[in-house]
Structure 1
Amino acid sequence: MKIEVWSDFVCPFCYIGKRRLENAMQQFEHSDDITVEYKSYQLDPTAKHIPGKDFYETFSELKGIPLDQVKVMNNQVGQQAAAEGLTYNFDTMQYANTFDAHRVAKYATKLGKGKEITERFLHAYFTESRLMSDHDTLIELAAEVGLNKEEVKEILQSNDYMKAVQNDITVARQIGVQGVPFFVFNEKYAVSGAQPAEVFSEVLEKVWEEENKEQVLQSLNPKKTETSYCTDEGCDVKES
């Protein structure tokens, strides 16, 4: 089974949804037969880090929501994250553009480290309050999951993997993704949002059952029509 996940490293529900899917997979009998591939998506392609301005202020200005209301909303999100064993530090979080982080993630995926880099980047942003647009930060984090620092540095100084990131975003638009996280199972079933683990469990069972059920052909012979046919015991010839 193949699961494609469109997400962004600064999307709070993407981390929550990721953990809920993983929890469902842990309870799934055939989890070893599942491949998860992370796809790039940007919630705010124009995002820019402004030194001296905290996350609450930035979010308030971008969304036109009063500062107090922003803090209440993020506190509620933090509680949902905590229920999944995640720690969100909104007080020190640094708003940033994630395009370069996605480029590094594409390189990591090519080397078989897509799952590791995704988890590391999400944890770095939400828990450690790292600046995900800073190249030195991305190089350091990539090295922690086994990538070569110099190779990552060269990628960030070039246009490498830009097209791969843009292709993911284009495909997202084509298949109707309007928000993330967005999960696609076997290129056939879609689940949007950070659904409860129980929902993911139901989807896993349904997709697995369909993928592995025996295919039985439906007869299109006209009703009440006799015909001639052969079996391994001989041929039954009907008179015309």
Structure 2
Amino acid sequence: MTTSPIRIHYFTDVLCVWAYLAQVRLDELIKKNSSDIDISYHFMPIFGATEHRVGEGWKDKGSYEGFGKHTHQVCSAYPYLKLHKDVWKINTPQTSATSHLYIKAIQCLVDDGMINNEADENLQQRTIFEEFVWQVRLAFFQEAKDIGNMQVLEDIAKAMQLPIVEIKRVLNDGSALAALFRDIELRDEFRVEGSPTYIFNEGRQKLYGNVGYRIIEANLHEILNQPKMEASWC
């Protein structure tokens, strides 16, 4: 049996509706296997330029309004999800990269031990970092806020009583940007195609897209239960 936690690299874009609806599966995976896994969170700019991807890319299907209707159609199959009626129609973010940068700033402070990141019962067993990411997603999908706006992100951080001065420090000194670019490098190294993507076994197993919970858990348990030394089938 494997004794050390299994690292899972998890790639998403905060504006990706598939990652939004997949959050419940990730939460369940962590809840049931918290002592066996270590989630490494990474962010990729699928919506790095929304005008290009949505405004122009969906021009023949209604542009932003059409993409908003598509988002509602996706979420209609998941009644546990709430969605603002005007999502993608109002306060449209120019980019997801601003959110990703702010998130990485908080992650840098967690890594430096400046933010207590233990799982919290009051946050449904999420850590403060995981909860911030979730609140950013909720701000867009449920409240139709422009999460490409730095002030919106700062307001979320203030509401969660996060250290704004320290967040600004790692934003200003380049630490957060370097961490974000490292995510892009890892995306390319693992050949990640989209959001959300789970990477197991340091790249040897990949689950991409709207994957069911049982499939995700089955892949994890296969790794957890395999012998440390196993002959290759090659």
- Is the TM-score greater than 0.5? yes
* 1:77 partnered with 2:92: no
* 1:20 partnered with 2:25: yes
- Corresponding pairs, count: 204
Match of 2:42 in 1: 39
Structure 1: 5+ residue runs without aligned partners?
49-57, 219-240
Question: Per-residue CA shift, 1:8-35, capped at 9, x if unaligned?
Answer: 1111101222322323444x4x433222
| Separation (CA, whole Å) in 2 of partners of 1:194 and 1:13 | 6
Match of 1:2 in 2: 7
Q: CA deviation at 1:64?
A: 3.1
**Cα gap change, 1:209/1:65 in structure 2, threshold over 3 Å: closer, same or farther?**
farther
2:84–2:142 Cα contact (<8 Å) kept:
yes
The correspondence for 2:210, drawn from 191, 194, 207, is 194
Identity %: 19
Name the SS for the 1:115 alignment partner. helix
1:5–1:183 Cα contact (<8 Å) kept:
yes
Q: RMSD of the alignment, in Å?
A: 2.8
Question: Per-residue CA shift, 1:56-97, capped at 9, x if unaligned?
Answer: xx93543233228645522221213x34x2212251443321
Question: Per-residue CA shift, 1:189-234, capped at 9, x if unaligned?
Answer: 2111121112112112112112xx353679xxxxxxxxxxxxxxxx
What TM-score does the superposition give when structure 2 sets the normalisation length? 0.75
**Cα gap change, 1:74/1:103 in structure 2, threshold over 3 Å: closer, same or farther?**
closer
Q: CA deviation at 1:41?
A: 0.5
Name the SS for the 1:2 alignment partner. strand
**Cα gap change, 1:2/1:90 in structure 2, threshold over 3 Å: closer, same or farther?**
farther
| Separation (CA, whole Å) in 2 of partners of 1:216 and 1:190 | 20
2:21–2:75 Cα contact (<8 Å) kept:
no
1:7–1:182 Cα contact (<8 Å) kept:
yes
Q: CA deviation at 1:105?
A: 1.1
Q: CA deviation at 1:46?
A: 2.7
Deviates more, 1:89-98 or 1:163-172: 89-98
* 1:215 partnered with 2:229: yes
The correspondence for 2:176, drawn from 144, 158, 161, is 161
Match of 2:195 in 1: 180
1:106–1:114 Cα contact (<8 Å) kept:
no
| Separation (CA, whole Å) in 2 of partners of 1:191 and 1:86 | 22
